[in-house]
Amino acid sequence: MQQLETDYLVIGTGAIGMAFVDTMLDESDATFIMVDRHHMPGGHWNAAYPFVRLHQPSAFYGVASTELGSNRIDETGSNKGFYELASGPEISAYFEKLMRERFLPTGRVEYFPMCDYEGDKTFRSLLSDQQYTVKVNKKVVDATFFKTTVPSMHKRGFGVADGLTCIPPNDLPRTAAGYKRFTVLGGGKTSMDTCVWLLDNGADPDSITWVCPRDSWVMNRTGTQPGTAFFETTVGSFADNLDAMRDATSVEDLFARMEASETMLRVDPNVEPTMFHYATVSKGELEQLRRIKNVVRGQRVERVETDHMLMVNGEKVGAEPDTLYIDCTARAVPLKDDELTKTVFQDDLITLQVVFAPLLTYSAAIIAYVEANFETDKEKNSLCAPVQLADTPAEWMPSTLGNMWNSFNWSQNKELRKWTDQCRLNPNAAAIREGAGKDPAHKELIGRIRQNSMPAIMNVQKLIAESNSN
């Protein structure tokens, strides 16, 4: 057993562990030991499918100190006209470079890849029996709370008959050639990406079957763009959502209003979605998805047989033997675990979570700033109330109120406000930096937001109470 010593022992070098330490390096003199099972920082991005991209612009993803990408606007493809979205390999390279060129050269970070944290400030190498125990002078930081899974990491939850091929999307580019029929299993963003990949690469829409257990409301990418050039669409989307929140009479009515202002979209306007996971798409991607007509809705697959799929409800859906099945059923964040949120600061433990949904890295950076600059756990927790990630349209409401509440609290502290206003991970920082808001159209939007915030909050609180009592 080797004895080590540090101020902060950080478990996990995924995006949130990296975002936390990055801000702490600037805001404190502390030392860090970072431990991870992976051989490289970046967490699940190291196991991502090859055509994955961020949902959100690279402009405000990653860590606070260092740009990801070059802030360019895409000129081609389904993201044309919008800020670039980093690919999986770009994100992995970004985190690897950060560790190598920024964290380690400070002399304040020790990095232990290929090591399993066993609890009680002890970890073990996965390649030898070497065990380490750490004297932690300040805190343990748990950067593993979300237990993010991607298709290549998860255990398939349905059976597949011998002789059939069922792959994670990771294997699609090297397996797809030669197949004439494709069945995509799953209703989340990974399944949407897979369908779009098949269509973009020449598959006939009629050769694709999409098993979509739950339809999803998705966010319109126009509402997530940073900077002055997009002020009217991005801030305008928030203002439109506040109008909807103020006037809605039910969750369904709320989403119908957000759809009318095009801040929320859905694949099939005739199907009421029952899922909301913050997936963000462009209208171009939506048009592609709408070309797929063979959609099996409302059911999960129990077992895939040569000539049919047996669904969980006992129904059989016809299938062809020469089909390639693509498993996109991994749940990125297993939300229905017994613990959905946890107090962030608890004595000598920090549990990194979302304090501004769904922006995980911005959240981790804020928690770091608060850790470094405030004194008591009470004070710190009052600024970092965890926001539960939504799974359903109804859960969009508490998640949005949580964001508004935390943002308000941050704005009440002069120093914290100054920091969030300039932090590159804050989606509004670019507009603030560029001095947006002076234009009459901008002023009108800001006025609308000021006027509608309180009535919107009050009405949504009423809708939450109603939906909890149903």
Ligand X SMILES: Cc1cc2nc3c(=O)[nH]c(=O)nc-3n(C[C@H](O)[C@H](O)[C@H](O)COP(=O)(O)OP(=O)(O)OC[C@H]3O[C@@H](n4cnc5c(N)ncnc54)[C@H](O)[C@@H]3O)c2cc1C
Query: Considering the rule CB under 6 A, would residue 94 count as an interface residue with ligand X?
Result: no
- List 185, 275, 360, 368, residue binding ligand X (CB under 6 A): 360
210, 296 Cβ separation under 8 angstroms: yes
Residue 325 sits in the site that holds ligand X (CB under 6 A): no
For residue 14, state whether it binds ligand X (rule: CB under 6 A).
Answer: yes
Exposure b/e, 29-55, CB count within 10 A at least 16 = b? ebbbbbbbbbebbbbbbbbbbebbbbb
Under rule CB under 6 A, residue 150 binds ligand X: yes
Q: How far is the CB of 257 from ligand X (least distance, A)?
A: 25
Residue 262 CB, shortest distance to ligand X, in Å, is 20
CB 346 within 8 A of CB 337: no
Nearest CA among 186, 235, 173 for reference residue 214: 186
CB of 249 to ligand X, least distance (A): 32
Which residue among 8, 55, 207, 276 contacts ligand X (CB under 6 A)? 55
Site string for ligand X, 127-146 (x = CB under 6 A): ----------------xx-x
Using left for φ > 0, alpha for ψ between -120 and 50, and beta otherwise, residue 154 falls in beta
Give the one residue of 24, 44, 208, 399 binding ligand X; rule: CB under 6 A: 44
Minimum CB distance to ligand X, residue 278 (Å): 8
Work out how close the CB of 187 gets to ligand X at its nearest, in angstroms, rounded to a whole number. Answer: 14
Long-range CB contacts (< 8 A, 24+ apart) of 250-257? Answer: 250/463, 250/466, 251/393, 251/394, 251/397, 251/463, 251/467, 252/393, 254/393, 254/397, 254/460, 254/463, 255/217, 255/393, 255/396
Q: Kindly tell me which of 124 and 266 has the beta carbon lying closer to ligand X.
A: 124
Query: Is the Cβ of residue 146 or residue 182 nearer to ligand X in the bound state?
Result: 146
| Contact pattern for ligand X over residues 244 through 283, marking x by CB under 6 A | ----------------------------------------
Which of 53/433 has CB closer to ligand X?
53
Q: Establish if 332 lies at the interface with ligand X (CB under 6 A).
A: yes
User: In sequence order, which residues have a C-beta less than 8 Å from that of residue 404 and are 6 or more positions away?
Assistant: 453, 457
Please identify, among the stretches 311-319, 358-366, 374-382, 432-440, the one whose residues bind ligand X according to the rule CB under 6 A: 358-366
Residue 170 or 207 with smaller CB distance to ligand X: 170
Residue 60 is a binding residue for ligand X (CB under 6 A): no
Q: Does 17 bind ligand X (CB under 6 A)?
A: yes
- CB of residue 320 to ligand X, shortest distance in Å: 29
By C-beta, is 10 or 244 nearer to ligand X?
10
- Least separation in angstroms between residue 21's CB and ligand X is 11
Rounded CA-CA distance 263/234 in Å is 9
Judged by beta carbon, residue 122 or residue 467, the one nearer ligand X is 122
Q: Using CB under 6 A, which of 251, 324, 328, 359 touches ligand X?
A: 359
Residue 11 or 326 having the CB closest to ligand X: 11
Site track for ligand X across 171-200, x = CB under 6 A: -------------------x----------
Only one of the segments 8-16, 171-179, 218-226, 439-447 lies at the binding site for ligand X (rule: CB under 6 A); that segment is: 8-16
If the CB atoms of residues 44 and 380 are measured against ligand X, the closer one turns out to be: 44
Q: Contact between 54 and ligand X (CB under 6 A)?
A: yes
Per the structure block, which two tokens stand in for 416? Answer: 């914290």
Contact region with ligand X (CB under 6 A), list: 32-40, 301-309, 387-395, 406-414: 32-40
Residue span binding ligand X (CB under 6 A) among the ranges 297-305, 353-361, 383-391, 442-450: 353-361
Residue ranges binding ligand X (CB under 6 A):
11-17, 35-38, 43-44, 52, 54-56, 61, 116-117, 143-144, 146, 148, 150, 190, 332, 358-361
